[in-house]
Amino acid sequence: MLIFAVKRLAVAILVAITVSLLTFSMIYLSGDPAMALAGESATQQDIENIRRVYGYDKPIVIQYINWLGNALVGDFGHSHYLKTDVASVIFTRLPVTMTLGAAALSFALLLAIPLGVLAAMRPNTLIDRIALTLAVIGQALPSFWFALIMIYWFGIVWGMLPITGSASWLNFVMPSVALGYYVTPAVMRLTRAGMLDVLSSDYIRTARAKGLRPVAVLFKHALRNAVIPVVSLAAVQFGFMLGGSIVIETIFAINGLGQLAWESIQRADLPMMQAIVLVLACFYIVLTFLADLLNAFLDPRIRVG
């Protein structure tokens, strides 16, 4: 187990370094970052000044090492637009996006797991068909469109929910649904497949033969094993949701990391963009690392193989 963990950690660190390299090179996509920053009316002198102040005149390798070294101690530089410390802005916005992600994931799991269990209990019946149809429809709904449809009905026509901001928990209802429903088909299918697999296994037959109550068999014996792969899927999806929240946060004007990313992209605020990409990527790397460890802990075949 320890050897597996160390190996996996080494890979995670290497991935993080590669991602940081890619993120760093992003600023050179637009050509000369100093020129892009100075704007169209800048003189040659202005551009030279900016180049010196931001360190763009140093060799690229030195720039990268400086940037990474600072990032490691939580210093992502100064925002070109907000004229403040990038890290402090990110850390005030991050909790909002985490809350949204957690709420969206809870919604997805609370909907998908019961549906998957129901579908597996009665395979090829009406319930199963309905669950699978919902999954197919869910996968075809673009989330930004679904969000607008909800805003129209629940926000405007029926006036049940607030449509912008992040003042109370009510503000998070529609964004969570819009962000979370996209994950439900995958979780539901996995729960259903896992349950079908487990329910036909010998130990469940034994449990039933012993005369255990069906409810106990289902929840105590079957679901616990069927849900193991769902845990790692949920971890991975949580990472994807944090990255995908940019669209949802923009629509609902939620003051999180996604909206910050969107604003920074519009303002060509390179240090901020880089920092957000790096922070989100590192979150994903940590999440998948933890999910792999958990899986290896629960299923010995993984850590040996």
Asked if 284 touches another protein (CB under 8 A), the answer is yes
Contact between 15 and another protein (CB under 8 A)?
yes
Let me know: does 87 contact 77? Beta carbons within 8 Å: no
**Helix-helix angle 184-199:126-140, to 10 degrees:** 150
User: Residue 205 and residue 217: Cα distance in Å, rounded?
Assistant: 9
- For every residue of 111-143, DSSP letters joined together read HHHHHHHHHHHSTTSHHHHHHHHHHHHHHHS-H
How far is Cα 299 from Cα 289, in angstroms, rounded to an integer?
15
Residues in region 145-184 near another protein by CB under 8 A = 145, 148-149, 151-152, 156
Consecutive H or E run containing 20: helix 2-25
Interface with another protein in residues 253-282 (CB under 8 A): 261-262, 265-266, 268, 273, 276-277, 280-281
Residue reference for tokens 């929910």? 161
Q: What CA–CA distance (Å, rounded) separates 185 from 145?
A: 18
Stretch that binds another protein, among 110-118, 143-151, 172-180, 295-303 (CB under 8 A): 143-151
Residue 142 binds to another protein (criterion: CB under 8 A)? yes
Nearer to another protein by Cβ, of 250 and 255: the residue is 250
Residue number, 12 or 212, with CB nearest to another protein: 12
Measured between alpha carbons, how far is 112 from 192 in angstroms, rounded to an integer?
Answer: 9
Sequence letter at residue 74:
G
| Phi, psi (deg, nearest 5) at residue 115 | -60, -45
- Binding positions for another protein, 97-126, rule CB under 8 A: 123
Per-residue binder mask for another protein (CB under 8 A), 19-48, x = binder:
x--x---x--xx------------------
What is the total count of residues that contact another protein (CB under 8 A)?
A: 49
Report 209-248 residues binding another protein (CB under 8 A): 239-240, 242-244, 246-247
* Locus of tokens 């604003």: 263
Q: How far apart are CA 87 and CA 279, in angstroms?
A: 10
Select 54 or 220, whichever has its Cβ closest to another protein: 54
Binding site for another protein (CB under 8 A): 11, 14-16, 18-19, 22, 26, 29-30, 123, 136-137, 139-145, 148-149, 151-152, 156, 192-193, 196, 239-240, 242-244, 246-247, 250, 261-262, 265-266, 268, 273, 276-277, 280-281, 284-285, 288
